[in-house]
């Protein structure tokens, strides 16, 4: 491995460690498989607003799929608001 690549790997690690100061999610699209044998659900995050194509989200503005992605991202995004 060349020195240029080693430098980039180290810089990437530093950016990840400093994520709270360096990284802001603007948009994200995730496919998540639920417990049902249906097709996976699509969860999206756009400028602080969550959406999911499941029926539960349509009535509550939050669902298990969104909650799962929020947990995976560990406070890197705004938490979905319920009405």
Higher-pLDDT residue of 75, 34:
34
Question: Is the per-residue pLDDT at 81 higher than 70?
Answer: no
Pairing, β 41-46 against β 49-52: antiparallel
| 7-30 pLDDT tens trace | 999 999 999 999 888 988 899 999
Q: State the pLDDT confidence band at 83, using cuts at 50, 70 and 90.
A: low
pTM of the model: 0.77
| 46-80 pLDDT tens trace | 988 999 999 999 999 999 999 999 999 876 777 77
Query: What does the alpha-carbon distance between residue 21 and residue 65 come to, in Å, rounded to a whole number?
Result: 27
| Residue from 69, 33, 65 nearest 77 by CA | 69
């Amino acid at each position: 491995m060349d020195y240029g690549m080693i430098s980039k790997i180290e810089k990437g690690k530093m950016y990840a460690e400093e994520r709270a100061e360096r990284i802001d999610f603007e948009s994200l699209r995730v496919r998540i498989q639920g417990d049902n044998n249906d097709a996976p659900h699509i969860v999206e995050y756009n400028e602080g607003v969550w959406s999911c194509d499941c029926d539960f989200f349509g009535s509550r503005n939050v669902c298990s799929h969104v909650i799962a992605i929020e947990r995976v991202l560990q406070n890197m995004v705004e938490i979905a608001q319920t009405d």
